Chains A and B, each alone.
Chain A
Amino acid sequence: MRRLLNARPRGGGRLLLGLLPIAILVLVYLVASQARHAENPRDKILPTPAAMAQSIQIMALQKDPRTDRIPLVADTQASLTRLGIAVGAAAATTLVLGLSIGLLPYARAGLGPLVATISVIPPIAVLPILFIVFGLGETAKIVLIFVGITPFMVRDLASHVAAIPEEQIVKAQTLGASTWLVALQVALPQAMPRLIDSVRFSLGPAWVFLISAEAIASDVGLGYRIFLVRRYLAMDIILPYVAWISLLAVIIDLLLLTWSRTAFRWAHAPGGRR
């Protein structure tokens, strides 16, 4: 018989196989929810789809009379703004520091140890410091995300740039390129796809830091909302919110991947995989 190693699912079978565990999970949830509600019709731990639909309607379609805004829209906007500013700043910093450390021996000697040191500090541990220094406003949350993801991204990009074959760097110089032109025309374009990848990987931790900061001190935001309604055991709101956050994460990831594939075609194999 053929080894299991070599048996490959094809076409429709593959799709079906991927959907199967998800369908099972959903089914298990529905059965469990049904069972709990049979015992106690007011159960809050495993809300029924109908209850969730109703909560979604309240959160996503009706204005909150206190703020005169739709909660889901306000939360999403606030969270994405924080995430966007922080990740954007992290990417810009990474580009400058990563290229410098990767290309210039002086920058490597001067900044390498600092970046390495900062990257071992657990970011959540400095959150109190950020709150003390920047207050409880937007700045502290943005800085937390920034501090949380930048050191890793800088180290990743710097090692990627440093791994550009020396032959290429020497060749560029024999073609008359200055340090500036080597950075701009040789290293930067080759760093970009890696930076996009690095942003994609860092978005996971970035969400963690965002939600932590929002849980502790905020009055709007996706993380704030989840932790607020937790007090009322409002699983019917928490679960759709978690699903929404996951959907946002997937969309952002796909957008970044598409950007990398279209703008940096050379970095991706024709088949699509790197």
Chain B
Amino acid sequence: MTPALSFRNVWVEYGDHVVLEKVSLDVAPGSFVSIVGPSGAGKSTFLRLALGQEAPSRGEILLDGQPIPAEPGPDRGVVFQRYSVFPHMTVLQNVMFGARCDQAPFTGLLTGAKRRQAKAEALAILEQVGLSASLKAFPRALSGGMQQRLAIAQALITRPRILLLDEPFGALDPGVRLDMHELITGLWREHGLTILMVTHDIKEAFKLGTRVIAVDKRRHDPHAPQRYGSTAVYDFPLDDKQKTAIPREIAAMAGEV
């Protein structure tokens, strides 16, 4: 089976500062891959690469076997930790935005049957994320958790090949975070999504993922810390989603953070 997303020997370097080195990674369709690692290890660089915000200095990145375009597009959805919803649109308008871009590329406005269909789809997704009661609210009136629900609903409407999550629950209260875990797991199963999530919360990574990748530097030169980049140092496939104890190596790495 063609991987949904694959990194082939990817390097990211700025001058002599190596951020990522020799990263090879295949994300299978339908999997939920969590990326963990200490701060500054280049976790978010994975997402920037997958989004096309940044290009690798060496190697290639494939989406469904094709090289990814060098800029963000509707085939890759994203939810950031903050600021991923549009403050000037209501909840419903936020979710309909994807459909508007797709079907009205010049005005961004939909009319008639197209509008009704887009609205029906948006309402269905909003129902699933539990925002049906606040269709006309502006994001500033929503709590942090509700804003993230909205951001997820908004990303799902374009049916992306892969959903990229960048610390999506990092700014939320613990209780809300648990609700969001349930929500994203449910959506993942129901829509058959492929998810790549970056998080610094190792428990979250193991709880949600079908596979956990730990990113860190393999080698370290104390006199030239920028000389070596990070790579995938551990790769745990979690078959049958057995949520067993967190492996010792990872727990040790968390201690270093």
Contact = CB atoms under 8 A, between A and B. Distances in A.
B37 interface: no
Contacts of A175: 74, 97-98, 101, 154-155, 157-158
A265 B151 CA distance: 21
B65 interface: no
Interface in A228-268: 264-267
B203 to A, nearest CB: 25
B100 interface: yes
B130 interface: no
Interface string B67-106: 0000111101110101111111100000001101110011
Nearest to B79: A171
A180 B106 contact: yes
A167 B88 contact: no
A176 B71 contact: no
Contacts of B3: none
Contacts of B102: 176
B83 A168 contact: yes
Interface in A175-190: 175-178, 180-181, 184-186, 189-190
A201 to B, nearest CB: 21
A174 B74 contact: yes
A170 B72 contact: yes
B12 to A, nearest CB: 18
Interface string B208-251: 00000000000000000000000000000000000000000000
Given A176-B74, A184-B108, A190 B88 contact: yes
Dominant SS at the B interface? loop
A171 B101 contact: no
A167 B86 contact: no
B97 A172 contact: yes
A174, A190, A266 — most chain B CB neighbours (10 Å): A174
B51 interface: yes
Nearest to A264: B88
A190 B87 contact: yes
Nearest to B137: A266
Given A176-B98, A176-B102, A185-B100, A171 B88 contact: no
B140 interface: yes
Nearest to A188: B88
25 contacts: A165-B82, A167-B82, A168-B83, A170-B53, A170-B72, A171-B154, A172-B86, A172-B97, A172-B101, A173-B72, A174-B72, A174-B76, A174-B77, A174-B155, A175-B97, A175-B157, A175-B158, A176-B74, A176-B102, A180-B105, A181-B108, A185-B101, A265-B138, A266-B88, A269-B140
Given A165-B82, A165-B83, A265-B138, 7 more contacts: A168-B86, A170-B72, A171-B151, A175-B154, A175-B155, A176-B74, A185-B108
